[in-house]
Amino acid sequence: QEIALGNNQKYILGGIEVTGIKSYSEQAVIAYTELRIGQEITLPGEDISRVINKLWGLGLFSDINFYVTNIEGNTVYLELNIQEVPSLNNVKVQGIKQKKIEPILKDTELKKGKKVTESFLTNTKNYLINKYKKEGYLNTKVHIITTPDTTESSAVNMLVNIDLGEKVKVQNIGFTGNDAISAKKLRKALKNTKKIVPGRFWKKSKYISEDFKEDLVSLIDYYKENGYRDARIIEDTLAYNNDNTIDIKIKLEEGNKYYFGDIRYIGNTVYSDRLLGQLLGIKKGDTYNGVLLKKRIDDPSKPDGENIANLYQNNGYLFSQINPVEVSAINDTINFEIRILEGKPAYFNKISVTGNEKTNDHVIYRELRTKPGQLYSKENIIRTIRELSQMQFFDPEQIVPKVENPDPNSGTVDIKYELAEKGSSQIELQGGYGGGGFIGTLGLSFNNFAIKDLFNKKAYKPVPMGDGQSLALRLQASRFFQTYSFSFAEPWMGGKEPVQFSVSLSHTKQFLYDYLTGNADKDRRFNISGITVGIAKRLRVPDDYFSLSQAVSYQHYNLKNYNTALFTFGDGFSNSLAYTIALSRNSSGPNPIYPLGGNDFTITAKLSPPYSLLDNTDYKGLAEERKDAVENNDTDKIAQIDQQRFKWLEYYKVKFKGNWYTNLVDKLVLKTGVELGYLGAYNNHRGVIPFERFFVGGDGLGNYTLDGRENIQLRGYPNQSLSDNDGSIIYNKFSMELRYPLTLKQTASIYGLAFLEGGGAYNNFKNYNPFELQRSAGLGLRIFMPAFGLLGIDFGYGFDPIPGSTQPNGWETHFIIGQQF
Amino acid sequence: NEYQKVLKSEDAKLKYDLAEKFYNEGDFRRANRLFEQIAPQYIGKPQGERIIFMYANSFYQIRDYYTGGYQFERFAKSYPRSEKVEEAAFLAAKCLYLSSPKYSIDQTETHKAIEKLQLYINQYPTSENLPEANKMAQELSEKLQRKEYEIAKQYNTTRNYESSVTSFNNFLLDFPGSIYREDAMFYRFDSAYRLAINSVSYKIEERLLEAEGHYNNLKKYYPQTKYADKADAMKAEIEEQLKTVTSK
């Protein structure tokens, strides 16, 4: 029955009947349309097409039709006829290994409930064929068979049949037309397409058409680099052999070899021809090399490279353009003009930051090296990225500087830094065996704390954050000791200049190890309480990677019946007041977890006041008295004298530590390190103190720094094994470490390392011999996760015997926790 | 108890009734849990409109403004003909307003909120919520002004005077009617003054004159400025310096 419809006439919707449904209920489909019985509807009109679009958008139906079934007065009745798209029930994949099926199902989204449309089938098939082509299976055939599922309505089962065929290998690659360059060299230039060479397992022979196309481009580039700028490929042919291999034939035309002629600079007003010529580094008569010429002018792969474009870009000439133009060719000599459009120098205008969801603006803006009103400099943008990474609040891999609104007329440009916050708090909760027993540690460190919000309830999400301050609390306890420490640092005290203020407090209780029972003797203890206040300032000279830090520290040591070889005054006390000054330079980066280049070094001097100069005590006499007492075995007398000597600790300590990072190839980095330390006395009769000493060997973790001791890492030997029980006063260490990253993601950075190191510990200058080292080598792995800090394991082999032994020390396993360098 | 039982039951009607009861009694947290379970089933059904609105509002009431804003917006889109649509649009914008963070961090949410409020103000110019919407938009705009003002002022604090002048110039152009205008004008002058008196000799005159210009601007718009004492003293110093420079 034909029903006449008026033009855009309004009706009341009287009812909808849904036909063609298999698995959906009528109610559900009507709900999808969002049409309501009784509503006003215009026919024909937008209402219906909107509903159809909406239903299409769901992707559940393969055909949608509306029919008018009846009109009564101004009430209209509709029929909605739909065809459901079948959904996928079971998938079976044949023809490939079982464990390879899972990733394929994931990539192609072949899972239960997926709507099986024609285009989905075609896409899946093409995806699979291309995937295997890329792996060298040129003859891959894919068949997808769908059969209706009998258990469920409107569902299908799918069988994916993959016939990989044989992997196609390249038997031979031949060249014709190559007179000047040998076929062997040309084959080398084809980076991805290799012919079969027995025994070469690291680069298997395969042919992938896309890669081969790339290779042909690099083949021509290879010619261009050697002066043959007219070289071209006339044709390349593939021939299939019977044994499932192919032969590739490349016919080419070399053309003539060319040389650079005159190079003239045009348009340069800021820099002289001579300076530009030096930077270009190409002389008249050199073999023509178009690739090199381009690189010396601009090399996008090296943002901080030394080339002409960067010379301009780093000095404000954002709008500069540099074009090399061949002006004439005489025989085999090509003359060039380097045409330079310098443009107006550009100045930074608006500098903004987004993505700082926790960190306050002022913490970020003060670190930016690009400032409004300053001359544009690409170098400063790169430096800013480094500084932002160094703060540890943002994911270094996600810092994006966006150049916005470059305006050549006003000579201004805006920069927007897009950042992504990363977790900068660490919780350390660990238990482990060490130092003869169980050690439990609870550590909290917040690296982006905001102390001003300490009493602001709203700021606790979960702790007040965003002012760039660091706050750390650490409790550590075992049967033998307990340590409590607290530290706080504000990197920009007063907000005017980068002067870091820090304060730390600590308290340690150490019980004597009872050799008979193997337990702690709680009646005999050694308490240390200390406070350190320091400031550190970034310097501008010699360059702004330097910083100078100064600190004053005070420690009080209190012994109760705690006699050891060193502590002869078992019931005494000791005070240490010292001033530390350190000069350091840190240019390693850009990612502080995995530096690719730069270096960091620190030279430190720690000094106590020279009491012996001031207190008019005859230390020479005292030393002789002590000698007598030792001869007489008069321990009380020794204790009395030592108490006098160490009531106030008098010493000086100098240290040097340096690391150099060299990026060898790709992301392989060589870290070279040197460390030296010396603890001395102003007055030889008063003697070197039993505190503050060096303990060389092992993992070097600073868990056990009770008497100011420093644990020096030297892998391949047990902890502290290379020093005496009392510690050493001189040490040095040299190391080389090769590192290669497995992943440098935000969630976890993982790298492997191989090391070679040697170090030595000495009790006095007479024994000191920097070449008499305990050597070791080994392998290790580091995992850095923002929430846990650094975790690592090293296996080291000690080539030399430890003191008191004659055999090489052999293998040691070290667990590294929380130590970064 | 009854709530736990209904929470675990399969009966949508039972959940609906109880959710509405909690909702009306003001126990929005429980109502929210129940609405969450039944909302998907009622989409497209006659009761859906009521349920989605109450669901959205329960988020608003339990101060989950982020989800609340999203749900109100969804409501406004799904039921454009509902009589509650204006209220939903207003609450959607208000939720965004309430989730706008403090000035000193990323302001993406604030920009979104201002946009939504402006849209609401344009769409419902006669609404009784208009004064509140205007007030919220004003407040957010002042937040953005504060952000830019503090950044420009930080350049002054860290002695990057040139950057401070540039930033205050941009600030005064971008927010001509700002509540910080007087302060911005003073600190622009302050930065220019400090840049000038610490300047290298060949630029000193130019910079002194520029600073003087900023002083004149401040006095023109704010003759009785609260910074008068400081500004006048600095101006006197500029004149002094100009004399010695030009006499050379």
Residue A304 has pLDDT above 80, yes or no: no
Q: Which residues of A touch B159 (CB under 8 A)?
A: 496
- A453 CB neighbour count, 10 Å cutoff: 16
Q: Which residues contact A134 (CB under 8 A, 6 or more apart)?
A: A208, A210
User: Rounded mean pLDDT of A679-686?
Assistant: 89
pLDDT value at position A821? 38
Among chain A residues, the shortest Cα distance to B150 is held by A362
Instruction: Tell me how close the Cα of A302 comes to any Cα of chain B, in angstroms.
Output: 29
Among chain B residues, the shortest Cα distance to A31 is held by B44
The beta-carbon neighbor of A355 closest among B106, B157, B159 is B106
Band of residue B59 on the pLDDT scale cut at 50, 70, 90:
very high
pLDDT in tens, B210-246: 999 999 999 999 999 999 999 999 999 999 999 988 7
Residue A490 has pLDDT above 90, yes or no: yes
Of A254, A251, A238, which Cα lies nearest the Cα of A168?
A238
Is A356's CB within 8 Å of B105's CB?
yes
- Which residues does residue A655 pair with via DSSP β-bridges, in sequence order? A604, A677
Q: Which residues of A touch B49 (CB under 8 A)?
A: none
- Cα A586 to the center of its chain, rounded Å: 17
Is A495's CB within 8 Å of B157's CB?
yes
* Burial (Cβ within 10 Å: 0-12, 13-18, ≥19) of residue B13: exposed
Is A362's CB within 8 Å of B154's CB?
yes
Distance from C-alpha of B239 to C-alpha of A743, rounded to nearest angstrom:
62
Distance from C-alpha of A42 to C-alpha of A47, rounded to nearest angstrom:
6
pLDDT value at position A733? 94
Token duo for residue A163? 């016939």
Instruction: Tell me how close the Cα of B1 comes to any Cα of chain A, in angstroms.
Output: 33
Is B104's CB within 8 Å of A466's CB?
yes
Ranges A544-553, A560-569, A749-758: which has the least confidence: A560-569
Distance from C-alpha of A799 to C-alpha of A777, rounded to nearest angstrom:
8
Band of residue B120 on the pLDDT scale cut at 50, 70, 90:
very high
Token duo for residue A137? 């299976």
For residue A61, which phi and psi values (nearest 5 degrees)? -125, 145
pLDDT value at position A637? 85
CB pairs under 8 A between A and B: 69
Collapse the DSSP code of A401 into the 3-class scheme (helix H, G, I; strand E, B; otherwise coil) and give the result. strand
Of A185, A208, A118, A205, which Cα lies nearest the Cα of A156?
A118
Is A496's CB within 8 Å of B43's CB?
no
pLDDT in tens, A308-326: 988 898 888 989 999 999 8
Instruction: Tell me how close the Cα of B85 comes to any Cα of chain A, in angstroms.
Output: 16
Q: Which residues contact A132 (CB under 8 A, 6 or more apart)?
A: A140, A162, A164
Distance from C-alpha of B3 to C-alpha of B9, rounded to nearest angstrom:
10
- A788 CB neighbour count, 10 Å cutoff: 17
pLDDT value at position A202? 62
Band of residue A412 on the pLDDT scale cut at 50, 70, 90:
very high
Instruction: Tell me how close the Cα of A94 comes to any Cα of chain B, in angstroms.
Output: 39
For residue A757, which phi and psi values (nearest 5 degrees)? -145, 160
Of A279, A311, A304, A303, which Cα lies nearest the Cα of A292?
A279
Is A373's CB within 8 Å of B166's CB?
yes
Longest Cα pair distance anywhere in chain A, in angstroms?
130
Note the helical H segments in A281-393: 290-297, 308-313, 361-365, 378-390
Ranges A96-105, A512-521, B219-228: which has the least confidence: A512-521
Taking CA atoms, B55 is separated from A124, B2, B81, B120, B144, in Å, by 41, 20, 18, 21, 32
Q: Which residues of A touch B147 (CB under 8 A)?
A: 361
Taking the alpha carbons of A220, A223, A227, A230 in that order, is the dihedral positive or negative?
Answer: negative
**Are the beta carbons of A801 and A734 closer than 8 angstroms?**
no
Band of residue A1 on the pLDDT scale cut at 50, 70, 90:
very low
Distance from C-alpha of A627 to C-alpha of A649, rounded to nearest angstrom:
20
**Are the beta carbons of A575 and A609 closer than 8 angstroms?**
no
Instruction: Tell me how close the Cα of B72 comes to any Cα of chain A, in angstroms.
Output: 18
- Which residues does residue A750 pair with via DSSP β-bridges, in sequence order? A743, A783
**Are the beta carbons of A442 and A429 closer than 8 angstroms?**
yes
DSSP state, B36?
H
- Which residues does residue A710 pair with via DSSP β-bridges, in sequence order? A694
Residue A58 has pLDDT above 80, yes or no: no
Distance from C-alpha of A739 to C-alpha of A744, rounded to nearest angstrom:
13
Collapse the DSSP code of A152 into the 3-class scheme (helix H, G, I; strand E, B; otherwise coil) and give the result. coil
Band of residue A199 on the pLDDT scale cut at 50, 70, 90:
low
Q: 3-state SS of chain A: helix, strand, coil percent to 5?
A: 20, 45, 35
Q: Which residues contact A160 (CB under 8 A, 6 or more apart)?
A: A91, A92, A93, A94, A110, A124, A128, A142, A143, A144
Ranges A99-113, A195-209, A674-688, A702-716: which has the least confidence: A195-209
Is B170's CB within 8 Å of A349's CB?
yes
Task: Confirm or reject contact between A498 and chain B (CB < 8 A).
Answer: no
Residue matched to tokens 């604090």? B157
Band of residue B175 on the pLDDT scale cut at 50, 70, 90:
very high
Among chain A residues, the shortest Cα distance to B107 is held by A354
Instruction: Tell me how close the Cα of A343 comes to any Cα of chain B, in angstroms.
Output: 22
Among chain A residues, the shortest Cα distance to B79 is held by A34
* Burial (Cβ within 10 Å: 0-12, 13-18, ≥19) of residue A127: middle
Token duo for residue A105? 């199902």
**Are the beta carbons of A112 and A157 closer than 8 angstroms?**
no
pLDDT in tens, A16-53: 888 888 777 777 788 778 788 888 888 777 778 888 88
Of A760, A755, A710, which Cα lies nearest the Cα of A733?
A760
**Are the beta carbons of A661 and A671 closer than 8 angstroms?**
yes
Is B157's CB within 8 Å of A497's CB?
no
User: Rounded mean pLDDT of B93-121?
Assistant: 93
Token duo for residue A211? 């890669």
Instruction: Count Cβ neighbours within 10 Å for each residue of B71-81 and write b for 16 or more, e otherwise.
Output: bbbbbbebbee
Collapse the DSSP code of B231 into the 3-class scheme (helix H, G, I; strand E, B; otherwise coil) and give the result. helix
Torsion of CA A564, A570, A575, A576, to 10 degrees: 0
For residue A176, which phi and psi values (nearest 5 degrees)? -125, 150
Is B160's CB within 8 Å of A371's CB?
yes
pTM value > 0.80: no
List the 320-379 stretch of A: residues with Cβ below 8 A of B: 347, 349-350, 353-362, 365-366, 371-374
pLDDT value at position A549? 93
Is B106's CB within 8 Å of A354's CB?
yes
- A370 CB neighbour count, 10 Å cutoff: 19
Of A693, A728, A719, A722, which Cα lies nearest the Cα of A707?
A693
pLDDT value at position A480? 80
Residue matched to tokens 């000690």? A798
Q: 3-state SS of chain B: helix, strand, coil percent to 5?
A: 80, 0, 20
- H or E stretch at A354: strand A347-354
- B211 CB neighbour count, 10 Å cutoff: 29
Collapse the DSSP code of A84 into the 3-class scheme (helix H, G, I; strand E, B; otherwise coil) and give the result. strand
Is B162's CB within 8 Å of A373's CB?
yes
**Are the beta carbons of A203 and A226 closer than 8 angstroms?**
no
What is the residue type of A625?
E
Task: Confirm or reject contact between A496 and chain B (CB < 8 A).
Answer: yes
DSSP state, A754?
E
Note the helical H segments in B46-199: 48-61, 65-78, 85-99, 108-123, 130-157, 161-174, 181-197
- B8 CB neighbour count, 10 Å cutoff: 8
Mean pLDDT across chain A, nearest whole number?
85
Instruction: Tell me how close the Cα of B124 comes to any Cα of chain A, in angstroms.
Output: 24
Is B44's CB within 8 Å of A496's CB?
no
User: Rounded mean pLDDT of B8-12?
Assistant: 81
Is A366's CB within 8 Å of B154's CB?
yes
Band of residue A4 on the pLDDT scale cut at 50, 70, 90:
low
pLDDT value at position A187? 85
The beta-carbon neighbor of A31 closest among B44, B155, B159 is B44
Is A373's CB within 8 Å of B106's CB?
no
Chain B residues within 8 A (CB-CB) of chain A? 43-46, 78, 101, 104-106, 108, 147, 150-151, 154-155, 157-160, 162-163, 165-167, 170
- ipTM of this complex: 0.90
Instruction: Tell me how close the Cα of A466 comes to any Cα of chain B, in angstroms.
Output: 9
Instruction: Tell me how close the Cα of B142 comes to any Cα of chain A, in angstroms.
Output: 17
- Which residues does residue A176 pair with via DSSP β-bridges, in sequence order? A251
One DSSP character per residue, A526-590 reads: EEEEEEEEEEEEE--SS-TTEEEEEEEEEEEEEEES---SS---TT-EEEEEEEEEEEEEE--BS
pLDDT value at position A820? 45
